Every structure is written in C-alpha cells, then in structure tokens.
Amino acid sequence: MSKYSYTYKVLNRNVGRALHRYDMISDGDRILVGLSGGKDSLTLMWILSERLSRIPIDYELFAVYIDPGFEDGFGESLSEYCRKTGFKLKVEYTDYGIFSHSSQNRENPCFLCSRLRRKRLFEIADEIGCNKLALGHNKDDIIETLFLNICYAGEISTMVPSQSFFKERFTLIRPLAFVDDDVIRRFAQEKGCPAFVNPCPTAKVSKRQEIKTFLKQLYSGNKKVKGNIFRAMSHVKTEYLLR
C-alpha cells in the first residue's frame, strides 16, 4: 500500500483535525494505547506511531491489551502481530469477561466488562507513568453511543474526544473521533491487518449491535443523515429541550 493512498490521506487529515482541535497530544507525553485486536485500535496505534516521523513533537507509545479471559482468546497472536509490526505489546490476562457473564453479575455484561477493562487500563497507565490513555473509538462509535444512551439510559450524552480524569492526572483521548468506520475498514484492508475474532459470547447480540443495525438502515435512506447527527452533537439548543 502506498503511504499516500487516498484512504491514508483521509485518515491522516481527520486524525490531525481531532488532535489539533482538542489539543490531544503534547511534547513529552507518555501515551498508553488500549488495543482490542480490532481494526480501530490497530489503525490508531499505526497512525500515532507513523506521525512521530513527521511532526515537531515527541511522545512515547505503550500498547496494552486486556484479555477478558474467554476460551480461544487471541492475546498471544496479537502480541506476535505487534512484534512483527514493530510495536511492543503488554497483554494483561484477566477474568473480566467471564465474571461479567456469570450469575454473580446483575448488570449488563458489556457495561461491566468495559468498565473493568477501562479501570485496569488506568491502573497500568499509572504503573508505567503514562499521562494519556488513547482509545480507538471512531465517529460511528460516538454516534452509536448517543443513541444507546438515549434508548437505554434515558439521557442525551456520548463519548467525547478528550476527557480528563482523577483531577486531571490522566487524559483519555480518542484521535479517531472524526474518522468514519468505513475509512478505517479500508485502511486496515490496505495494511493487511489480521482479523482477530472476538470470543465474547454476546459480541454479535449486544445492544450496540442493535443500534448499529438501526443506524445502517437510517443512513441508507439519506447519505446526509450521518453527518447531520454528528454535527448535531456540537449544536445543541438547550432552550428547546425539556427541563
């Protein structure tokens, strides 16, 4: 794949927009990149690493994968892929996925598993002296979260591109916030990223998957809908909402 393919240019331009708009990365940052094995986080790790060779600031990247403990996990395969690609990966083996799907948990399994994995990422970031945590959520994820929260939490909210935690000790950043899922999919294909199959038993029947299906149908009727929804999240007229 040419470094300057059209897909690369779109990806790079939108990552640059997010980084600059939200001032996500500064010189000297130590950034923990949460890898999931999916196309989004692998693309995130690649683009953040690639940018180091052509921008005037310097930062360090530390890739971490939280293995949820299911059978047929891909922690070792992901670690080997990262090694061949030039990244060093720390694999943290846990039972978060198993516990979240057990009878001991009365919450939504996806919600609890995600919360436990996020908590551990912050702990590891603290252990290795990182001040930033980068996650691979993209534009589609942000829109889906808006609808998830409206439909199942009864509130209007979503993931934000940059957010401080623990009295500004850590900043969580989402550099792919302006990048469409289709762009990331094409880029991952051009790069030949392997497909690591998610072993979670509810991965294909989650509430998020329901929202994905609904939005796909909505987008198919009008190509402007997706962009309008995304822009609407930064053009909120609170005076026209219930109080």
Cα distances (angstroms) measured from residue 171 to each of 22, 26, 159:
11, 12, 13
Question: What are the phi and psi torsion angles at 204 (to 5°)?
Answer: -100, 0
Mean pLDDT, residues 172-182 taken together: 98
Please check whether residue 82 lies inside any domain of the structure.
yes
24 C-beta neighbours (distance < 10 Å), count: 22
Question: Residues 140-176: pLDDT tens digits?
Answer: 999 999 999 999 999 999 999 999 999 999 999 999 9
Residue that has been written with the tokens 């990966």 in this structure = 89
| pLDDT value of position 109 | 87
- pTM metric for this prediction: 0.94
> Regarding predicted confidence, which is higher, 4 or 98?
98
Strand partners, 92: 66
Q: Check pLDDT > 60 for residue 3.
A: no
Q: Is residue 159 part of a domain?
A: yes
pLDDT of residue 45: 97
Over residues 15-25, mean pLDDT? 98
- pLDDT bucket at 183, cuts 50 / 70 / 90: very high
In a domain, 177, yes or no: yes
The single-letter code of the amino acid at 44 is L
Looking at the structure of the chain, the number of domains it has is 1
Tokens representing 178? 């302006």
Share of residues in the chain with pLDDT > 90 (%): 87
Residue pair 181/113 in contact by the 8 Å Cβ criterion: no
What mean pLDDT do residues 187-196 have?
A: 93
Output b/e per residue, 75-112; b: 16+ Cβ within 10 A.
beebbebbeeeebebebeeeebbbbbbeeeeeeebbeb
User: In a 3-state reduction of DSSP, which class is residue 133?
Assistant: strand
pLDDT on residue 124: 98
Asked whether residue 2 carries a pLDDT value surpassing 60, the answer given is: no
Whose CA is closest to 78, among 66, 62, 70? 66
pLDDT at residue 243, rounded to an integer: 86
For residue 106, being part of any structural domain is answered with yes
Q: Hey, which of 24-28, 100-104, 196-200 has the most confident mean pLDDT?
A: 24-28
Domain span at residue 188 reads 6-240
| pLDDT value at 1 more than 60 | no
As a whole number, the mean pLDDT across the chain is: 94
Please state at what angle helix 6-21 crosses helix 181-191, rounded to 10 degrees. 130
Q: Can you give the pLDDT at residue 143? A: 98
Buried b (16+ CB within 10 A) or exposed e, 171-205: bbbbbbbbbbbebbbbbbeebebeebebbbebeee
> Do the domain assignments include residue 136?
yes
Q: Does position 51 have pLDDT exceeding 60, yes or no?
A: yes
Residue 203 makes CB contacts below 8 A (sequence gap 6+) with 209
Output the CA torsion sign for 22, 119, 41, 232: negative
**pLDDT for the residue numbered 69:** 95
Asked if residue 127 belongs to a domain, the reply is yes
Please report whether residue 199 resides in a domain. yes
pLDDT value, residue 170: 97
Sheet holding 60-67, edge to edge: 89-93, 60-67, 30-35, 132-134, 170-173, 162-165
Residue given tokens 């990149």 in the structure block: 33
β-bridge mates for residue 66, sequence order: 92
Q: Is residue 1 part of a domain?
A: no
Tens of pLDDT, residue by residue over 71-80, are 989 999 999 9
d(CA 38, CA 31): 19
Task: Give the CATH number, domain containing residue 65.
Answer: 3.40.50.620
Distance between start and end Cα atoms, the chain: 52
pLDDT above 90: residue 206: no
Identify the band that residue 105 occupies on the pLDDT scale cut at 50, 70 and 90: confident
